[in-house]
Amino acid sequence: MRAVAVPVDGMICQVCAGNVKSALRRIQGVAHAEVSLEQRKVVIHYQDGKVSADQLTRAITELGYKAGVPTPLASQ
């Protein structure tokens, strides 16, 4: 299991945060997505080999938000 923190520009409300979380949770290989509206970031736990960090940021971008560079977190 891997985890990354991704900055997200454009999230301004709980609906935005919910949209990001829902989109990420629909991706096969994503175990958990925790969105922080206050910090404008999402922490994503995913199965390496089933999905890549690039695919995760692309999903955020496709919603109309600007996804920053993913920062790897300690492996789980």
Tally of CB atoms within 10 A around 70? 19
pLDDT tens for 40-70 read 999 999 998 999 999 999 999 999 999 999 9
Give dist(CA 62, CA 39) in Å, integer. Answer: 21
Q: pLDDT value at position 7? A: 98
Please give the pLDDT value at position 74. Answer: 85
Predicted pLDDT of residue 13: 96
Residues of the chain with pLDDT > 90: what percent?
Answer: 95
Spell out the domains of the chain, with CATH numbers in brackets: 2-72 (3.30.70.100)
What span, in angstroms and rounded, lies between the C-alpha atoms of 75 and 14?
Answer: 28
Please spell the DSSP secondary structure of 24-68, one letter per residue: HHTSTTEEEEEEETTTTEEEEEE-BTTB-HHHHHHHHHHTT-EE-
pLDDT greater than 80 at residue 76: no
* Count of Cβ atoms closer than 10 Å to residue 17 Cβ: 19
